[in-house]
Chains A and B, each alone.
Chain A
């Protein structure tokens, strides 16, 4: 064991932190895992894979009707066109929100989430409250996120219980006709691609 100091770690170190260290040290010692492989995986998910990927997919679909058609027909393929694929995304289905249909994604049994386009899920998506409530009272949950969905609109909740992963294609906000694809991707939030929010409105330039 080496004695590096890690400033924010040493006071009252948690059970989880110590136990993790014990696990890592045993797995590394026995040669099952290397330290730099762990470092590389952490870095990949902290820096390289996240909702900015999905935002590019959505923006492309907003500006390119052919791409949008391909995306809704075979999400996995169309998303791979932009270079996004891999773990927890071997089959991705994209759900289009329309004026009459609002889609929202949950995983009641676990916390399955389309990693290649959204990264790792936020805590709220993994929370017992979200997992238990979204299938039985979706409108109440959406309201907590500040999203009112009129009774006339159909709410479709997608429980990702198998290996298929779901991503929502939010509606393109009005007043964005002159925006570039890159600017549009800035309006696409993680929450909009899970279906608990709408895409952001463009800032009004005076």
Chain B
């Protein structure tokens, strides 16, 4: 999707805002949203689309006006509504009740065994490596071109790479293809490569010679330039 989230190379966002001794969460609600999104993901409540594609699907004006966790919140809400788990009306009503009762908290539901299990799952290693019958088309050193494609769904191929020539740097094995997964087509595993693009190829001859970008490219994002 050629969305507002695809920001690489854009101008106009000003200096990078920095904060000294920044806390992990700036307000309690940020932590709650974060944890709910993780927990909902573990329960597969945002599948098959995935929270990330819902974030990308937010209205662009809202995307830009929202903080990081506000975007997570909006995406989580959209996912839960789309899945029929809740409705906008229910959320509005519940929100009004909290607004009318300052300081009130949601009722608690506890299950210590499950809480321990959920927290422990964060530490579980799950290899992304998969198998495919597709040939590995490229080797380190091969010249390749990022395909010019404009998928309307979720994609990991940013606009600034499309049509540009780079060189395969290393192999990352075979990963599930997120573009397919987010559209409910399953994993469709593919070879994935780290590809180096010179800054001058990406941004023109005024870019310094001693700068480059490395990015991970699924096989179907690439054409041979040999």
Contacts and interface: CB of A to CB of B under 8 A. Distances in A.
Interface of A: 1-6, 9-10, 13-14, 16-46, 49-50, 76, 80, 85-87, 90-91, 93, 108-111, 116, 119-120, 122-124, 126-133, 135-136, 138-139, 141, 144-145, 151-164
Nearest to B176: A163
Contacts of B24: 45-46, 50, 119-120
A44 B119 contact: yes
A62 B85 CA distance: 50
B90 interface: yes
A164 B80 CA distance: 28
B7 A132 contact: yes
Contacts of B135: none
Nearest to A191: B18
Given A16-B70, A30-B85, A156 B214 contact: yes
A164 B213 CA distance: 15
B98 A136 contact: no
B125 A136 contact: no
Interface residues of B, number: 102
B95 interface: yes
Contacts, number: 309
Interface of B: 5-19, 22, 24-29, 31-36, 38-40, 43, 45, 52, 55, 64, 67-70, 73, 76-77, 80, 85-86, 90-92, 94-95, 97-99, 101-112, 114-116, 118-119, 121-128, 156-158, 160, 172, 175, 178, 192, 194, 196, 199, 202-203, 207-208, 210-216, 218
Contacts of A76: 125
B208 A22 contact: no
B32 A6 contact: no
Given A22-B91, A139-B211, A41 B102 contact: no
Nearest to A155: B211
A151 B31 CA distance: 41
